Amino acid sequence: MEETAKISVTGTDSNIPVTETWLRKHRLIYDGATRHPFIVSIRDGSVDFSSFKRWLGQDYIFVRSFVPFVASILMKSWKESTDESDMEVILGGMASLNDEINWFKNEASKHHVSLTSVVPQNANINYCRFLESLMSSEIEYPVAITAFWAIESVYQQSFAHCLEEGNRVPQELKETCERWGNEGFGAYCDSLRGIVDLCLQKASAEVTAKAEVFFLSVVEHEVEFWNMSIGDASM
Ligand SMILES: Cc1ncc(CNC=O)c(N)n1
């Protein structure tokens, strides 16, 4: 009882960081993204390789749209952030995307996936459109950085879950899991989370409420993205 009484609905309780209140409040939907059947199948080794290849090709397209999105966050942090170190965290994220694009090309050739002939599927198109809408100058920095943290953290938690004790990840997919599930990427996500919590501590209730809506949208888009990867017919 004590515990629940402390949870603030608006996220303005200064004792509990906003991201913590959201993760408690939206636990089920969040776990739906980080424990999706596609992720579970990678973890237990039952993954269908055609699903993996589909994911690989689609995610390459997503990551290419993600780069200008991160660039727009960098711009917003330069204009709107009160903390100089934000820019360095975001820049670090951008730098790793450069490496990531090369990794995708290399991985695709290993699995005989032709990246130039991948046709973006609906879930991907919708997600990329969503990213583009967040690049608008109308979107406040705290809202945009919230979405950014959520996007990175769903991948980090999903792939870190694959690497947990007792996993049966196929050899060919270990590197993929390591890419987002490694400790360094975890620390980077924690830094982003810290930025979000600090930003929202200072933000208005209106901006905080808007950030929560976008947090949930990210989680929903991530679920749709995994659904698309396993070839869900409803896509
Ligand atoms: C659909 C999706 N969400 C998050 C990430 C992780 N961020 C950058 O790589 C990703 N690659 N793809």
For residue 89, CA distances in Å to 41, 72, 99, 147, 177 come to 32, 14, 16, 15, 22
Query: Which of 54, 55, 69, 151 best tests ligand 1's pocket when mutated (most atoms within 8 Å of CB)?
Result: 151
Q: Ligand 1, atom 12: nearest CA belongs to which residue?
A: 59
Q: Count Cβ atoms within 10 A of the Cβ of residue 163 and give its class: 0-12 exposed, 13-18 middle, 19 or more buried.
A: middle
Ligand 1 centroid to residue 66 C-alpha, Å? 8
Q: Give CA–CA dist 30/72, Å, rounded.
A: 25
DSSP 115: G
Q: Is 59 in the pocket of ligand 1 (CB under 6 A)?
A: yes
Mean pLDDT value of segment 162-187: 97
ipTM: 0.99
**What local confidence, expressed as pLDDT, does residue 15 receive?**
80
May I ask the CATH architecture of the domain 22-229? Answer: Up-down Bundle (1.20)
Mean pLDDT value of segment 97-114: 97
Domain ranges of the chain: 22-229
Q: Are 148 and 130 in contact (CB under 8 A)?
A: no
Q: Is 159 in the pocket of ligand 1 (CB under 6 A)?
A: no
